[in-house]
Amino acid sequence: HADTDPPSAVYSQYFDGSTCTAQCAAWATFKAGLASSGYTSVHLYGDMDPVGYTCTDPTATQQIADMIRTTAATSISCGGHVWSQCDRYEGEFWMDPPSVCDLSNCPNPGWIVRPCIGYNCYYSGLNSDTCGAPNQTITIEFF
């Protein structure tokens, strides 16, 4: 990341075919730890997309943090992309969704983080299938 400061909030988990118990617990901790002010950028990336997406607009970055923290169904435009969250599964985080909470939940390739879906960890993926995704690490960092 271009920032020289360490991230102040990080979610980084390995997603595979097992149940997402640890990933969901880490998501709850991450959400609860997000501050209500002070972030200036956010970076979403992983094994399948090491460059990922970055938002460097402080206002939009804080709105993204707030939507994740509160599990609000909303979309925020930043960095030429739409950062979106659906209010199901304790937060279903999308990049460039067809619409907020669209029922077409399996884009391929897609960018979806849904650690609390309850089925298994094949339902989260970045730059890959999102229902039957390959094993991968997904990271979200707020600075």
Summarize pLDDT for 17-44 with one digit per residue, the tens: 888 999 999 999 999 999 999 999 999 9
Q: Is 99's pLDDT higher than 80?
A: no
Return the pLDDT at 23. 96
With cut-offs at 50, 70 and 90, classify the pLDDT of residue 106. confident
Return the pLDDT at 6. 62
CA 94 to CA 97: how far, in whole Å?
Answer: 6
| Helix, strand counts (H, E) of the chain | 2, 9
The answer to whether 36 and 64 have CB atoms below 8 angstroms apart is: no
The helix/strand/coil state of 27 is helix
Q: Is 122's pLDDT higher than 90?
A: no
- Give the range among 21-35, 70-84, 98-112, 118-132 with minimum mean pLDDT: 98-112
